[in-house]
Every structure is written in structure tokens, then in C-alpha cells.
Amino acid sequence: MSSFHTNAQLRFSPRPRANRFRAIRRFISGGNIEYFENSAGQVETREVEGEAGIEFLNTDRLSLRLTRTYELVPEPFEPGGSNVTVPSGEYNYQAGQVLYAMGTQHVLSGWMYYQYGSFYGGTKQTLGYAIGRFEASSRLAFEPSVSANWGSLPAGSFNSTAITTRTTFAFTPRMFTSALVQYNSSAHVLNSNVRVRWEYQPGSELFVVYSDGRDTELGRPQLENRSLIVKITRLFRL
């Protein structure tokens, strides 16, 4: 017997009258239901989400989201790689989130959000910035993302931070380099990746990729893996 997944969404986005709410493009409201069932016919996850928000004329968006979740935990686990264990069982929890999304027309864009709610018999709050982009110039851009979590469970409290930054620089329209750095405090992992792409002639490319993985648990990052990949392609026209 195979697993089962279904999703249903409903959206209603009326626009205000021209002589009212002149700074608002539209009002946003809607809901989403997502349902997972495993191969044994058990409901693993059921999530119901409602949203109410405003989209401004400059495409910025302010939203309030409320979520109610049911989850079946078949085996104990440690959320976010923490030392606090969540026992197996059935859990119902809910959370509220306030989100402000800045449109892509800004020099700095992205989503800023705060979430608070119940979590596996305790509580959790999250403060974050995601899908971010800062264009320093036509050639240089940064894509930062950060998420900080604080939780309190019957077995104890935990906190974790995840940071990701991608930097892209275009030397020419056919040559650019990008660097990705990822850090997770709970997993004690620091990963970096640098890639150079050069289209030396139309349809033919050279790639150079360097990757580095380090363990930060002991304070000073300890090297765990490192790799260098060079790939070249050539287009032949017949």
C-alpha cells in the first residue's frame, strides 16, 4: 500500500475601491489544508493554515498566518539537533506568524517574520529573515537568510541558529563567481562552496567548484571534508 498526500487551497484577494485605501493594491485572505497518510493508513501529518494580509501598491506585503498541526511521531527525536528529546506519540499544536515581505524592486528585499506557538507539548518562537537579496551593484549581489529558534519542552529547553549567505559577482556577462556559506549552530556544521562559471564561447563552459565542510562543536572549526571539481564542456556544431 502506498502513502497518500493531498493538498487543497482557497484564495480570495479583492481590490479596494479607487477612492479608498489608496496605498493598498489588494486584500489577501485564504486557507490551506495539507494531509499526509503513510503506507499503513495512519495519518502522519495534518496541517490547516489560514492567512489574512495586505499587499501594498509597491508590492510589499503584510500578513498574519495561523496554523494548526497534527503530527504522529513514530520514534523519539531531538528537534534541531538539540539535546532535548521529543517522545514518540501524537501531537497537536498551533502557531501564529507575522510576516512582512519586501518587494523585489527594493535594493534590499526578502521576508521578515516572527512566529510563536505550541510545539510538541511545549512552546517555540522563531525570528527570521528569508529569501533575502541585497543588490550592492549591477554586478555584486548578496542573498542572506537567518533563522533563530527558542524552544521550551517538558524535557528541557533548546535554541538554534541557522545562517546562509550567497554572494554572486559577475565579471562579465559570460563569467561569474558565487560563494555559498551555511552555518547551523545545533548541528555544529559550517559548509562553504565557491563556484566559478565561464562561458568561453557560446554553448561551451568551464566550471570550477570548491567545497569545504567543517565541524564547529569544539569551538574552532575542524575540517571534515574538502573537494575541488573542474568540468569543461565544448559545443560542436555540425
Give residue-wise pLDDT tens across range 38-57.
888 889 999 999 999 999 99
- Region 227-234: mean pLDDT is 97
The C-alpha cell of 76 is what?
A: 523519539
Per-residue pLDDT tens over the stretch 145-190:
999 999 999 989 989 999 999 999 999 999 999 999 999 998 889 9
Task: Compute CA distances 103 → 16, 131, 134, whole Å.
Answer: 20, 11, 12
Whole-angstrom Cα distance, residue 145 to residue 129? Answer: 5
Backbone angles phi, psi at 81, to 5 degrees: 75, 15
Residue 1 has pLDDT above 80, yes or no: no
Q: Specify the range with the lowest mean pLDDT, choosing from 60-69, 118-127, 134-143, 217-226.
A: 217-226
Whole-angstrom Cα distance, residue 125 to residue 131? Answer: 19
The reported pLDDT for the residue numbered 187 is 84
Q: How many CB atoms lie within 10 A of CB 124?
A: 21
- Region 19-45: mean pLDDT is 91
The reported pLDDT for the residue numbered 32 is 96
Domain spans of the chain? 4-187
The reported pLDDT for the residue numbered 73 is 93
The reported pLDDT for the residue numbered 80 is 67
pLDDT tier, 81 (very low <50, low <70, confident <90, very high otherwise): low
The reported pLDDT for the residue numbered 19 is 78
In the DSSP assignment, the letter for residue 107 is S
